[in-house]
Amino acid sequence: MSPRTPAPHDPVKQVLAAHRATLFGVGLFSALLNLLMLTAPVFMMQVYDRVLTSRSLPTLVALLVVAGVLLGLMAMLDHLRAVVLGRVGLAVDKALRKSVFDASVNHALQRRGEGDGQQPMRDLDTLRGFLGGPGLAVLFDLPWIPVYLLVCCAFHPLLGALALAGALVLTGLMLLSFTLSRRGTQAATQAMARRNGWLMGARRNAETLQALGMAGHIRAHWQAAHLEALLAQVKAAETGAALSAFTKAFRILLQLLLLALGAWLVIGTMATPGVMLAASVLAGRALAPLEQAIAQWRGFVQYREARARLALLEVEAENTPRTLLPAPRRSLTLEQVCVAPPASPMPTLQGVSFTLNAGDAMAVVGPSAAGKSTLARALIGVWPVVRGEIRLDGAEIGQWSREDRGRFTGYLPQSVDLLNGTIRENIARFSPDAEDAAIIAAAQEAGAHDMILRLPQGYDTVIGETGFALSAGQKQRIGLARALYGTPFLVLLDEPNSNLDAEGEAALGQAIHAVRARGGIVIVMAHRPAALAQVSHALFIRDGRQAAFGERDVVMRRILAQPDPARAPSVTPLHAAATA
């Protein structure tokens, strides 16, 4: 017998279980609310059968006072129920917000270029809106339908039978609404994800689109996806509106039929006029939850789908015990490392083995698409290691959490994107307790201090979409300062001088020297000569495999001695700079 597949993790179920007492209170409020809903039909029956026959004004006043008190209590309970359900929605949001944010950020690593990565955030909004809104309240009212039908039967069996028939018809409409809404909602969600993906891609590549005259073509693709999403939404909305309208008309018709049946019973002296009106009102109240359920069914379908998707998230408990290892200080070792992009079975780098000690600096060289950036992503832990191990001071890097690992790792990617905020915040990695001295020290080590002081507000200059526009070279130097913040032990620089001028390249060389002098390790993915002059070792990667590793000059001579040096055209100028 095959092993049983474990049930998927359902964080929403855990939160609701933790608030079991709160939901029990909501159920109690709903019970009292539905009992108080009997106020109107009972009041009508008493007025028609007692007040009109006795012509007693004191009885009428007493009934009005009692009804007013009960309706006031009903309003208070209805408000309290809405408040409590809103708190439940906030509790679910609190339990999931961290994982949802991480999932949205990791989307760029797991599915690069596919979709907009914001589906988890939309799913969280859907959950919070359903649990804190009228959708969940309807589920608490549905069980009270049989109670109202029994009261109708107590008035007269024929009235109860007609109300029951109407309830069965509305139940069938509710199930039909579920089936049609589920299909329409799924189609609309998928279409919107494709539409948003085109828009996000256009925003990321706005300059390229304008420079190459591609904006019109991309706009056509976006418009087609937008039209598809719009039609899917309209179709789903029209289906829901049609069912809701038919349900509303049928409920009114059913009340009229009950009124007509009650009138026939009154004519035959089988019921009183008060029973006739009370049964009509009561049947309307009995069927109201079904009508509301049909109106809310699309939201319920969206809630179920959102809950199923969020159940697949990797929710890391914040209180999971983890031994806090000290920051590494001695060595970096790779043992037959094989790396594949996320969600891809094909490795793009394999067979990499080397050891670097404190104070070493290594250049990773090789042709374009050889696997240099893949190695960088594996070293910082964003791409999975399929085989082999990456160790710092003998410990596999997964033994540190991402946050802990980030404190002793510096990383400068090929394309530097700074976040909305001040230069100070960007260098400090938005740490709330960052010290000014550490921020300035990182900027000085990156050779960016004087450049920052020349900006309008210096370190407090706001940058990003709504702030001061920096050049590519300025972004790269600030990104280098961010990588050096906190004196990290391992510093990874992916094409660090691609946008630097002569002054910036000199500052880069000094930064590499400073990291080595304080006992750190620097790894540079290099294409330009300036970076190689400061390193002690070199790693040559070709066709996704390690071809050579060792001291810089030894590796360079070995590369140039190969029978086909044209396979690594970028190595020759690097070697010339290293031996100059």
Per-residue CA distances from 334 to 405, 477, 495 (Å):
17, 29, 21
Residue 199 per-residue DSSP state: H
Contact (CB, 8 A) for 310 and 96: yes
- Residue 196's φ and ψ, nearest 5 degrees, are -65, -35
Of 454, 218, 433, 366, the closest CA to residue 443 belongs to: 454
pTM score, whole prediction: 0.67
Contact (CB, 8 A) for 395 and 325: yes
Helix or strand run (H / E) with residue 580:
none
Q: How many residues does the chain have?
A: 580
Question: What's residue 334's pLDDT?
Answer: 93
Question: What's residue 316's pLDDT?
Answer: 45
Enumerate the CATH 1.20.1560.10 domain ranges in the chain, comma separated: 11-108+117-310
The CA distance from 489 to 404, in Å, is 12
Query: Could you tell me the maximum CA-CA distance found in the chain, to the nearest angstrom?
Result: 117
Query: Side by side, which strands form the sheet with 409-412?
Result: 395-396, 385-392, 331-339, 349-357, 545-551, 537-542, 361-365, 521-525, 490-494, 409-412
Contact (CB, 8 A) for 51 and 63: yes
Question: What's residue 42's pLDDT?
Answer: 84
Distance of CA 153 to the CA centre of its chain: 50
Distance of CA 338 to the CA centre of its chain: 30
The CA distance from 110 to 104, in Å, is 10
Q: In angstroms, how far is the first alpha carbon of the chain from the final one?
A: 69
Distance of CA 264 to the CA centre of its chain: 59
Of 120, 229, 224, 221, the closest CA to residue 185 belongs to: 229
Helix axes 297-310, 119-132, angle to 10 degrees: 130
The CA distance from 580 to 569, in Å, is 18
Question: What's residue 467's pLDDT?
Answer: 54
The CA distance from 130 to 373, in Å, is 43
Three-state SS at 423: helix
The CA distance from 247 to 307, in Å, is 28
Question: What's residue 324's pLDDT?
Answer: 81
Radius of gyration of the chain (CA): 35
pLDDT < 50 stretches in the chain: 1-7, 113, 315-319, 565-569, 576-577
Report residue 125 as tokens.
Answer: 């909004």
pLDDT digits (tens, 9 = 90+) for 33-44: 888 888 888 888
The CA distance from 462 to 58, in Å, is 73
Of 49, 265, 44, the closest CA to residue 157 belongs to: 265
Of 537, 549, 546, 548, the closest CA to residue 351 belongs to: 546
Of 533, 541, 534, the closest CA to residue 364 belongs to: 541
Topology annotation, domain 411-487: Rossmann fold (3.40.50)
Enumerate the CATH 3.40.50.300 domain ranges in the chain, comma separated: 328-408+490-499+520-580, 411-487
The CA distance from 568 to 571, in Å, is 6
The CA distance from 333 to 351, in Å, is 13
Domain 11-108+117-310 in CATH 3.40.50.720 = no
DSSP 380-415: TTSS-EEEEEEEETTEEGGGS-HHHHHHTEEEE-SS
Q: What is the CATH number of domain 328-408+490-499+520-580?
A: 3.40.50.300
Four-CA torsion 13, 14, 16, 22, nearest 10 degrees? 160
